[in-house]
Structure 1
Amino acid sequence: MSETPLMIQLPDVKLEALYAKGNGKEAALLCHPHPLYGGSMDNNVVQALQETYEKSGFGTLRFNFRGVGRSEGVYGRGQSEARDVLGMASYLREQGFEVLHGAAYSYGVWVLLIAAGLGLKVESLVLASPPVDFLPFDELQLPAEPSLVTLGSSDQFCAVDSLQSWLDGASAPDLVHVEILPVCDHFYWEREEALSEFVASFLKDHVARTAT
């Protein structure tokens, strides 16, 4: 696996990123957990997601939100970070990718869905532990695209019942696939391989078309 370190200039900030070209015209944009709690693109879950997408032939772009690592700027309570996502999606389009997919963990899920509400177009979503018990998800909805949602059986910020209540409002519930990892909390320590297996199966069965 080979990622290229980049500093990508957006209209108002320059963001640190890691980019892998992949084998086709499809790429995954990956969003990391909460910046105020140590979240970054080097998080264990984000790395597991990136490796799974790359092994499946997709291009990947993971990056640090503004104010994290070498990225310029300051924490923006989700709204500025959603602009970061839109800017990174534009970068991938400029690299020639015709189809984009979204993948995110925890706070990154919240930001990714805010970006979707602002016009981000993705053909699928992999969402690890949406923190529905920690951040306001009431006005956020999944796009009507194939989606995998994962959570641990002991997730502190994404209880099974809370997640189901939120998913009850999905516009296309038949496109949503939920996987619960036993003996797993919000942080997926030593459960990364199991997560990767769920994601790889989802990509193979519901997503991967030209990225092979």
Structure 2
Amino acid sequence: MPDVIIPGPEGRLEGKYTPGKEEFAPIALILHAHPLGGGNMENLSSVMMYDVFRRRGFATLRFNFRGVGRSQGSYDQGLGELSDAATALDWIQAYNGNAPFSWVAGHSFGAWVGMQLLMRRPEVAGFISVAPPTNMYDFTFLAPCPASGIIIQGSEDKIVPTDDVDRVMSKIRVQKGIEITREIEPGAGHMFANHMPQLEQRIEDYLDRRLPIVFNERKPKD
């Protein structure tokens, strides 16, 4: 898990990177929670999702948004952070030119940034969004959503009510063949502090179901 420094739009971006296990390993990019609320790449959820994809052989990167940790710059209301994420994806793709597809996983603010990124990058074949802040940010950009993924929220989330996520996601259109899965973890709050193993299991189960389909759809051609 080597430390890496990525040249970002506002200076360096601090990250952790693990290369893929195979020549045609896919890519995973992990995006942390809100920078002004203590979000960083060492949050439990970020480390957990990083490890999930790393164990599956993905070329995996997590990093600090601008102004967090040793990353330069300052918080930019999500606009700059989306640019950071795009730059980080470019960086990991440069080292993994044979990757058949990419995956994006984020928590809260990171989920919002990640879902914007997948709208701009057709190589993103799937997403994991943990506690997306639908009551704080506009999600109408998902018009239509181009990739299947899973949204996981805690039933006791006091920051983003489950009813609000249901309301927003019920209005999201998807492309043909795309499915957004919704799951609720009983008793979990916004940060899943005491429910990290349960969150991890839901992610693992979803990837077990979904990845064989994606690999078949995007396997390298001979």
TM-score (norm 1): 0.90
Q: CA deviation at 1:133?
A: 2.0
How do 1:16-165 and structure 2 match up within 5 A? 16-24=14-22, 25-96=25-96, 97-119=99-121, 121-140=123-142, 143-165=145-167
User: How far apart, CA to CA, are the structure 2 residues paired with 1:22 and 1:121?
Assistant: 17
- SS of corresponding position for 1:77: coil
- Which residue identity lines up with residue 183 of structure 1 in the other structure? G
Q: Deviations over 1:11-62 (max 9, x none)?
A: 4421000001132320110100111111100111111111111122222100
- SS of corresponding position for 1:188: coil
- SS of corresponding position for 1:161: helix
- Which residue identity lines up with residue 61 of structure 1 in the other structure? L
- Which residue identity lines up with residue 143 of structure 1 in the other structure? C
User: How far apart, CA to CA, are the structure 2 residues paired with 1:132 and 1:120?
Assistant: 23
| 2:219 match | none
User: How far apart, CA to CA, are the structure 2 residues paired with 1:163 and 1:142?
Assistant: 17
Determine if contact 1:5/1:19 at 8 Å carries over to the other structure: yes
Q: CA, structure 1 residues 181+117, in 2 after alignment: closer, same or farther (shift >3 Å)?
A: same
Q: CA deviation at 1:187?
A: 1.1
- Which residue identity lines up with residue 192 of structure 2 in the other structure? Y
- RMSD of Structure 2 on Structure 1 (CA): 1.9
User: How far apart, CA to CA, are the structure 2 residues paired with 1:132 and 1:16?
Assistant: 28
User: How far apart, CA to CA, are the structure 1 residues paired with 2:164 and 2:173?
Assistant: 17
- Unmatched 5+ residue regions in structure 2? 217-222
- SS of corresponding position for 1:113: helix
More RCO (CA 8 Å, sep 6+): 1
Determine if contact 1:79/1:114 at 8 Å carries over to the other structure: no
Determine if contact 2:118/2:147 at 8 Å carries over to the other structure: no
Q: Deviations over 1:71-120 (max 9, x none)?
A: 01111110000000110111111011331100000001111223334446
| 2:200 match | 196
User: How far apart, CA to CA, are the structure 1 residues paired with 2:47 and 2:144?
Assistant: 23
- Kindly tell me the number of residue pairs found equivalent between the two proteins: 208
Q: Which runs of 4+ in 1 moved over 6 A?
A: none
Determine if contact 2:142/2:173 at 8 Å carries over to the other structure: no
User: How far apart, CA to CA, are the structure 1 residues paired with 2:144 and 2:123?
Assistant: 12
- SS of corresponding position for 2:15: strand
| 1:6 match | 4
- SS of corresponding position for 2:138: coil
- SS of corresponding position for 2:53: helix
- Unmatched 5+ residue regions in structure 1? none
